[in-house]
Amino acid sequence: MPALAFPVKTDRCRQTLLDRRAPVSRARRSFLIMVDGKRRLDELGIAMAMLGLNDADLQELTDAGLLAWHPDDTEALAAAAAAM
């Protein structure tokens, strides 16, 4: 994932966060809650490090359909606004 990309929650992610029984670690759940489609990956990097997450975690979240990626803020903001 490029550092300037914006991670965005998918519908599947929102459902997973609502379901407390979903098999997502506490660290990943905390990270997913922080993802708002307005902050770039490089801006979330400190939080990721504090949670003990790395690029492999991001790839697994993406592969699981929990995160989508937008290359610039125009697309990310539109996606975030549509989700509200």
Q: Tens of pLDDT along 45-75?
A: 999 999 999 999 999 999 999 999 987 655 5
The pTM of this model reads 0.78
What is the rounded average pLDDT for all residues in the chain?
86
In a domain, 17, yes or no: yes
Overall number of domains in the chain: 1
- Please indicate, yes or no, if residue 1 is contained in any of the structural domains: no
| pLDDT at 77 (0 to 100) | 55
Which structure tokens are listed for 46? 């400190």
Of 39-43, 50-54, 67-71, 76-80, the poorest mean pLDDT is in: 76-80
- The C-alpha atoms of residue 84 and residue 81 are separated, in whole angstroms, by 5
Q: pLDDT higher for 5 or 73?
A: 5
Confidence (pLDDT) at 49: 95
With respect to residue 36, please indicate whether it lies within any of the assigned structural domains: yes
Q: Is residue 65, in this structure, part of any structural domain at all?
A: yes
69 inside domain = yes
Token digits of residue 11: 């519908």
Residue 11 domain boundaries: 6-83
Burial of residue 44, with CB atoms counted within 10 A of its CB: 0-12 exposed, 13-18 middle, 19 or more buried: buried
